[in-house]
Chain A
Amino acid sequence: MATVEPVIRVENLTAGYDETVILRGLNFVVNPGEVFVILGGSGCGKSTLLKHMISLHPPLEGRVLINGRDITAADGDERREIMRGFGVMYQSGALFGSMTLLENVRLALEEYTDLPVAAMDLIARMKLELVGLDAFTGHLPSEISGGMQKRAAIARAMALDPGILFLDEPSAGLDPITSAELDALIRRLQRTLGVTFVVVTHELASIFAIADRVIMLDKRTQGILAEGDPKVLRDTSDNPWVRQFFRREAELAETPA
């Protein structure tokens, strides 16, 4: 494999809150332009890992490098600078409720650029068009459906054209069709814009539709159970837990270790 500089490098990361360790000693990289999926059963620390990767929580140990810079040690302007390199879509969408979709997307532009208002409006409108919401720019988040909110959140995350997008459970709470549409959107954006995606999910359909590479987290060992192409893992992994997960056999997955 050609040596490409990874966009995200997680080194020896121990994640958790206060005294509770949730994940221990993780090491992995995310390569440019790939859709990287973090998966695992409920409560295994997927979202926790994501929060640590985007530095919403300081790690108990280890560090996270984004575009070669250590976000866990950065402060003030440097931290903001690193954060400009990625966008985040939260599980609930987390759109600002008092602003219209256009204002939500425009916010980052207002804060970071000196562009004239008309230009910012146009850029925001274009981002919303990318996610198929150009007809809803004047709506408030509460006036649109859950799937649309998530798409709007992706548009907002893309406002400053970051190279990396983090998506926390994009298909959570969506019906299969809406969820498939979102998967298609992710694929399209990755193909056309070359954005690197880091997606947290446990939806099997989603994983096979979008993932280039996955890591599978494990509650028992608090570490990474498997890493690689999901289809290869499904067909060839000799780890029973991995096979069970991909074949949806709840029985074994639910049995305590």
Chain B
Amino acid sequence: MTTAALAVSDTPDGRRVLALSGRLDATTLRQLWDDAHRALAEAPTRPVTVDAAGIEYCDGAGIALLVDLVAHPRAAPVEVTNLRPDHDVLFRQFDPERLEHDLDPEPKRAPVVEEIGRTAAGIWRDIRNQVEFIGEMVAALGSAIIRPADVRWRDVWRICERVGADGLPIVALISFLLGLILAFQSAVPMRRFGAEIFVADLVGIAMVRELGPLMTAILLAGRTGAAFAAEIGTMHVNQEVDALTTMGLDPVRFLVVPRIIAALLMTPLLTLFAMLVGLAGGALTMQSFAIPLVTFLKEVDSAVTPTDFMAGFVKSFVFAITIAGVGCLRGLETAAGASAVGDSTTRAVVSGIILLVVIDGIFAVIYFVLDI
């Protein structure tokens, strides 16, 4: 017999008998569990005997049923009889009274006001941490400028390779496609006015002033910022950051400065590359609109001024510090636990991209005011 069965009967002296039989395990109990409780509920005032004589096999789930039947609050008592000795040992391990109460209930949700307060305090702490970090970072960068010999240049070159050389293909691909698409999308409507030549102006100014720097920065936030956060976060979880601290080595100088220097060196280079490749994408599209390369280049040359170029190029330095700084900060903030590194990485990318867009907006305003 591989199933469990329940037979309910009432004795003349007013007692209800629940005879359990068969195999009581997690797979056979589904129906029985409800039936047994219903049998109890139908006769709330009768004393109940659970006759376990027919049980052939009983695992933890079966014992749980017995415990539950005994522990269920009701007017008349429930007793278990004829339990086989080996099952009885299992059954007696548990105190039904104790199991009825949740000894360690999950904390109740705090009132909304408290939640708001805690969240606000958390945001405030976050801001303070960030200001503190920016301070430490600036101080460490300052002392790196004063004493360049103290910078771990070997780490800088290693990180440069990962940020710059390894990031080049994706930056090139995205910028090329961006230039291509931008040119195509604008050339189609502009051809109706015979103005496709001005697509070169559009692609040139857009790539150099805005899209080259911003797209590169966003790609790096996803690639490099996340990598920094994960790397430093893992070091934090492995107590490597603690080890640095107790060796008297400042984690900011040791971990953050090389990364910021590497980002500062590589981001502008990648940005330059993105601008050029974006223009190449635009040029390719324009070929198909019967505008030769020379004409395209001449038009770009007349439309894009050195000021435009500088406006875009300067931004890339600020973006570099933002990406590396946010990545490192999130890494250092990593809490304990398996999901912590994942959280820091996510936070690095999300807050990195938000900051980039905000900073880009600020630059737009400044350039507008300065009439650049």
Minimal beta-carbon separation of B285 from chain A (angstroms) = 43
- Report Cα–Cα, A81/B247, bound state, in Å: 10
**A91:B239 contact, CB within 8 angstroms:** yes
- Report Cα–Cα, A54/B248, bound state, in Å: 11
A residues 96-113 in Cβ contact with B at 8 Å: 96-97, 107-108, 111-112
Q: Is the interface of B mostly helix, strand, loop or mixed?
A: helix
**A92:B247 contact, CB within 8 angstroms:** no
- Report Cα–Cα, A19/B238, bound state, in Å: 25
CB-CB < 8 A to A92: which residues of B?
Answer: 238-239
**B242:A111 contact, CB within 8 angstroms:** no
Is A191 an interface position by the 8 A CB rule? no
**A90:B248 contact, CB within 8 angstroms:** no
**B240:A97 contact, CB within 8 angstroms:** yes
**A83:B247 contact, CB within 8 angstroms:** yes
Is B358 an interface position by the 8 A CB rule? no
Is A94 an interface position by the 8 A CB rule? yes
Q: How many residue pairs between the two chains, A and B, have CB atoms under 8 Å in the bound complex?
A: 46
CB-CB < 8 A to B234: which residues of A?
Answer: 97
Query: Residue of A at shortest CB range from B155?
Result: A98
CB-CB < 8 A to B93: which residues of A?
Answer: none
- Report Cα–Cα, A88/B239, bound state, in Å: 11
Query: Residue of A at shortest CB range from B246?
Result: A88
Is A84 an interface position by the 8 A CB rule? yes
Q: Which of B235, B238, B243 contacts A88 (CB 8 A)?
A: B243
- Report Cα–Cα, A56/B249, bound state, in Å: 13
**B238:A94 contact, CB within 8 angstroms:** yes
CB-CB < 8 A to A83: which residues of B?
Answer: 246-248
Interface range for B: 10 to 19
CB-CB < 8 A to B248: which residues of A?
Answer: 79-81, 83-84, 111-112
Minimal beta-carbon separation of B31 from chain A (angstroms) = 39
Is B245 an interface position by the 8 A CB rule? yes
**B243:A94 contact, CB within 8 angstroms:** yes
Minimal beta-carbon separation of A103 from chain B (angstroms) = 10
Show the binding face of B for A, using Cβ within 8 Å.
Answer: 234-235, 238-240, 242-243, 245-249
18 inter-chain pairs at a CB distance below 8 angstroms, sorted by A residue, are A54-B246, A56-B245, A80-B248, A83-B248, A84-B248, A88-B246, A91-B239, A92-B238, A95-B243, A96-B235, A96-B240, A97-B235, A97-B238, A97-B240, A107-B247, A108-B247, A108-B249, A111-B248
Show the binding face of A for B, using Cβ within 8 Å.
Answer: 54-56, 79-81, 83-84, 86-88, 90-92, 94-97, 107-108, 111-112, 156
Identify the 7 closest CB pairs spanning chains A and B, nearest first: A80-B248, A94-B239, A90-B239, A94-B243, A83-B248, A88-B246, A94-B240
**Given A56-B246, A86-B246, list of 13 further CB < 8 A pairs?**
A81-B248, A83-B246, A84-B248, A87-B246, A88-B242, A88-B243, A88-B246, A90-B242, A90-B243, A92-B239, A97-B235, A97-B238, A97-B240
